[in-house]
């Protein structure tokens, strides 16, 4: 009950209009000045000789606040925000109280007529008592408003007016995170905070932690007055849409912009200098994630045995991170890369120990092309759900290595799916790509063929498996689902880390074409949606994730240059810092990506997940095509591979000649 009352009073005080807050402070300070003067007499004369302020010393008690309050105003005591009261404000109090005590001492000396009644030591007593009362009350109120009576303020010195050669930074966000960041910067002494920027007009021109608060509209004046070179975003609770607005606004200024992560990403409740990082490009491109539907997240994971292929890759590893939180009974990590497998296993193993999670974690090396190994794994652990993320996804790399791309993406998916069918696995989820839609490259066509394989299998109640060599059918108890989406931010081979590296080197930034666009989504959002989509499938479903609007890569490059504090050098700005060079489309690369082959798309219960009805070949026809493709790839007959892909994959329209390394080298031979 006491805590509720205290919180209620605190909230009411914080919601008072600015003018009422200042009036309340002035009235309180008048009372404190009178109390300090009265106590000064008590200390000097004793309680039995207590002076009566309403009789012969009325003039002195009237003079004290008349002298003190204007000085308090002059030194900015009523501009400081109480909950962020710091050493800078304390220094201002010392100056104001000291000067008011000196002036009052002069008045006592020249005006006071009864020196025995108003001894000169009253001035000294009044001085230290005023310091304790005025400063002490503000310190106490700061702790009260912060809801913490025991944590002392981080000690610091007034940096804003010093010239010490440190980089000057302005902190965007004058809230708790911003104040913690300023305190950390002052202790670290690597950068010098010179101002706050905040959207809240009620604190514009106020002083918080010794720094003036500027409204964003005053940013140009802030730069001119303080010489700020960098802006640090300390708005961890802001929505992604709001952060995007702020970053777009800041692009127009010659400032390097960095950020502290969101509250969910911070390792502790306090902001540290080590938390400062480059701006998350997801804030420029992404949207606020739609809250997950817990039943969809849990349906195929909780207390089940889950196998993730390609567990060490960008998507596979994030799937594993999110699954751990849903407490599968056993999580099997499968990957052909020893390093990637070790990395994700170590990370998750430490998390399991740290959070005392009841999850069995098994790392397994192997290849998805090895159907017998996949079958052994699924039978041994009695796998309930497979998330098939293993694939070659780099377009030019697969274009130069056609056979491997085909064998891994198509045959690997086929063998893993058939193993799941033989082992009686309940759910099989394929991670697909927007490049499977009307593909112009081998990678996209192989991913579409992988989709078609699962579509065909899902329609067979008892299919005769590929490569079985006989007519023995296998009862199908597996629900096959495909989830298709575009590029993810920060994945291996992503343009984002490449641009960061090129900016750090001074440029140029390389873009393939001025008009090239791509869809983008954050890896965590994509992984979460994949898990939910996989839970909705009934068999043969092709789900498509809502990727938002496509992004022009050249505009992304420009934004990253601006937010790094540089300007683009081009014909309009020949004196700029960094150029953007266009290198031409790479083999198999498209200007625009699509997510749907046709217009037949249906909504699902999740607003970010759509269901597409797309054509495919019957299983028997597809098996024949797969057999021919496997034979052509095994004999390095790349012309035949291209021809078969054209005939099998609807919409496959390769552009340019075959650029497979083996094919090109053989053409050079006499």
Instruction: Evaluate whether residue 124 is within a structural domain.
Output: yes
Question: Which of 125-134, 220-229, 357-366: highest mean pLDDT?
Answer: 357-366
The 3-class secondary structure across 443-471, one letter per residue, is: HHHHHHHHHHHHHHHHCCCCCECCCCCCC
Query: What is the tally of structural domains in the chain?
Result: 3
- 118 vs 487, residue with greater confidence: 487
Q: Are residues 231 and 341 in the same domain?
A: no
462 has a pLDDT exceeding 70: yes
Q: Are residues 133 and 237 in the same domain?
A: no
Q: Given its phi and psi angles, is residue 386 left (phi above 0), alpha (psi -120 to 50 degrees) or beta? A: beta
Q: Are residues 465 and 610 in the same domain?
A: yes
Please give the span between the terminal C-alpha atoms of the chain, in angstroms, as a whole number.
92
User: Minimal CA–CA distance to 87: which of 209, 211, 196?
Assistant: 209
Instruction: Evaluate whether residue 163 is within a structural domain.
Output: no
Q: Are residues 573 and 535 in the same domain?
A: yes
In this structure, are residues 569 and 579 in contact, taking their beta carbons and an 8 Å threshold?
yes
In this structure, are residues 495 and 553 in contact, taking their beta carbons and an 8 Å threshold?
yes
| Banded model confidence at residue 575, pLDDT cuts 50, 70, 90 | confident
Q: Are strands 385-388 and 305-309 parallel, antiparallel or unpaired?
A: parallel
pLDDT in tens, 321-347: 999 999 999 999 999 999 999 999 999
Q: Are residues 111 and 191 in the same domain?
A: no
User: Minimal CA–CA distance to 308: which of 321, 326, 295, 298?
Assistant: 321
Q: Are residues 131 and 194 in the same domain?
A: no
CATH of the domain at 616: 3.40.50.720
Q: Are residues 381 and 233 in the same domain?
A: no
Instruction: Evaluate whether residue 494 is within a structural domain.
Output: yes
CA–CA distance, 435 with 429 (Å, rounded to integer): 18
Domain interval for residue 73: 2-146
Q: Are strands 207-208 and 192-197 parallel, antiparallel or unpaired?
A: unpaired
For the entire predicted model, the pTM comes to 0.72
**What backbone phi and psi angles, to 5 degrees, belong to 41?**
-65, -40
Six token digits for residue 593 = 């990506």
In this structure, are residues 631 and 314 in contact, taking their beta carbons and an 8 Å threshold?
no
Q: Are residues 423 and 524 in the same domain?
A: yes
Q: Are residues 299 and 203 in the same domain?
A: no
Instruction: Evaluate whether residue 288 is within a structural domain.
Output: no
Instruction: Evaluate whether residue 422 is within a structural domain.
Output: yes
- 521 vs 1, residue with greater confidence: 521
Q: Are residues 488 and 513 in the same domain?
A: yes
Q: Are residues 321 and 211 in the same domain?
A: no
In this structure, are residues 344 and 333 in contact, taking their beta carbons and an 8 Å threshold?
yes
Sign of the Cα torsion 13, 14, 16, 20 reads positive
Instruction: Evaluate whether residue 161 is within a structural domain.
Output: no
Q: Are residues 202 and 304 in the same domain?
A: no
268 has a pLDDT exceeding 60: no
Instruction: Evaluate whether residue 286 is within a structural domain.
Output: no
168-172 sheet: strands from edge to edge: 207-208, 211-214, 192-197, 168-172, 230-233, 256-259, 277-278
In a 3-state reduction of DSSP, which class is residue 119? coil
CA–CA distance, 207 with 214 (Å, rounded to integer): 10
Domain limit, last residue, from 280, 308, 324: 280
656 has a pLDDT exceeding 80: yes
Specify the range with the lowest mean pLDDT, choosing from 9-18, 45-54, 138-147, 159-168.
45-54
Q: Residues near 579 by Cβ (< 8 Å), separated by ≥ 6?
A: 507, 508, 509, 568, 569, 570
| Banded model confidence at residue 1, pLDDT cuts 50, 70, 90 | very low
| Banded model confidence at residue 148, pLDDT cuts 50, 70, 90 | very low
Instruction: Evaluate whether residue 156 is within a structural domain.
Output: no
254 has a pLDDT exceeding 70: yes
86 has a pLDDT exceeding 50: yes
């Amino acid at each position: 009950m006491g805590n509720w009352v205290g919180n209620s009073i605190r909230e009411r005080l914080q919601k008072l209009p600015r003018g009422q807050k200042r009036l309340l402070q002035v009235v309180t300070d008048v009372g404190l000045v009178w109390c300090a003067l009265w106590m000064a007499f008590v200390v000097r004369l004793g309680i039995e000789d207590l002076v009566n302020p309403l009789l012969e010393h009325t003039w002195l008690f009237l003079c004290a606040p008349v002298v003190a309050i204007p000085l308090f105003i002059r030194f900015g005591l009523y501009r400081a925000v109480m909950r962020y009261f710091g050493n800078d404000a304390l220094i201002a109090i010392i100056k104001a109280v000291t000067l008011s005590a000196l002036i009052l001492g002069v008045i006592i000396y020249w005006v006071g007529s009864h020196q025995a009644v108003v001894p000169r030591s009253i001035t000294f007593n009044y001085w230290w008592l005023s310091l304790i009362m005025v400063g002490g009350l503000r310190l106490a109120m700061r702790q009260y408003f912060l809801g913490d009576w025991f944590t002392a303020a981080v000690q610091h010195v007034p940096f804003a007016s010093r010239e010490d050669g440190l980089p000057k930074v302005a902190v965007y966000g004058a809230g708790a995170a911003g104040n913690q960041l300023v305190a950390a910067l002052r202790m670290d002494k690597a950068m010098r905070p010179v101002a706050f920027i905040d959207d809240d007009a009620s604190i514009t021109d106020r002083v918080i932690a010794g720094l003036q608060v500027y409204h964003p509209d005053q940013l140009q004046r802030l730069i001119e007055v303080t010489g700020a070179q960098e802006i640090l975003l300390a708005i961890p609770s802001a929505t992604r849409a709001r952060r995007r607005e702020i970053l777009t606004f800041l692009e127009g200024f010659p400032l390097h912009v960095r950020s502290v992560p969101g509250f969910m990403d911070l390792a502790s409740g306090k902001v540290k200098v080590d938390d400062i990082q480059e701006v998350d490009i997801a804030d420029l491109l992404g949207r606020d994630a739609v809250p997950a539907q817990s039943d969809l997240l849990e349906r195929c994971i909780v207390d089940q045995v889950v196998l993730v292929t390609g567990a060490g890759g960008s998507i596979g590893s994030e799937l594993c991170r999110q699954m751990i939180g849903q407490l599968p009974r056993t999580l099997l990590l499968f990957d052909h890369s020893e390093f990637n497998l070790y990395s994700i296993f170590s990370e998750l193993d430490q998390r399991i120990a740290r959070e005392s999670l009841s999850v069995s974690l098994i790392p397994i090396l192997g290849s998805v092309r090895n159907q017998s190994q996949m079958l052994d794994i699924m039978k041994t652990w009695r796998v309930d759900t497979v998330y098939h993320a293993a694939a070659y996804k780099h377009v030019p790399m697969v274009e130069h290595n056609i056979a491997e791309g085909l064998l891994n993406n198509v045959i690997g998916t086929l063998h893993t799916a058939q193993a799941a069918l033989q082992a009686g696995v309940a759910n099989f989820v394929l991670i697909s790509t927007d490049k499977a839609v009307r593909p112009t490259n081998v990678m996209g066509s192989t991913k579409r063929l992988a989709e078609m394989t699962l579509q065909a299998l899902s329609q067979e109640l008892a299919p005769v498996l590929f490569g079985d060599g006989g007519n023995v059918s296998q009862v199908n108890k597996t629900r096959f689902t495909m989830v298709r989406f575009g590029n993810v931010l920060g994945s291996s081979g992503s343009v984002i880390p490449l641009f960061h590296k090129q900016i750090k080197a001074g440029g140029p930034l390389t873009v393939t074409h001025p008009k090239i666009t791509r869809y983008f989504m954050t890896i965590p959002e994509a992984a979460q949606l994949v898990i939910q989509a996989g839970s909705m499938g009934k068999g043969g479903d092709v789900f498509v994730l809502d990727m938002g609007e496509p992004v022009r890569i050249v505009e992304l490059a420009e934004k990253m240059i601006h937010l790094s504090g540089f300007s683009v050098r081009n014909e309009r700005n020949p004196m700029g810092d960094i150029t953007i060079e266009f290198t031409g489309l790479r083999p198999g690369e498209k200007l625009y990506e699509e997510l749907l082959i046709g217009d037949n798309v249906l909504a699902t219960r999740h607003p970010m997940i759509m269901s597409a009805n797309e054509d495919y070949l019957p299983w028997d026809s597809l098996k024949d095509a797969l057999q021919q493709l496997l034979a052509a790839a095994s004999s390095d007959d790349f012309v035949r591979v291209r021809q078969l892909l054209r005939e099998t994959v609807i919409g496959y329209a390769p552009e340019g000649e075959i650029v497979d390394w083996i094919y090109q080298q053989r053409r050079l031979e006499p």
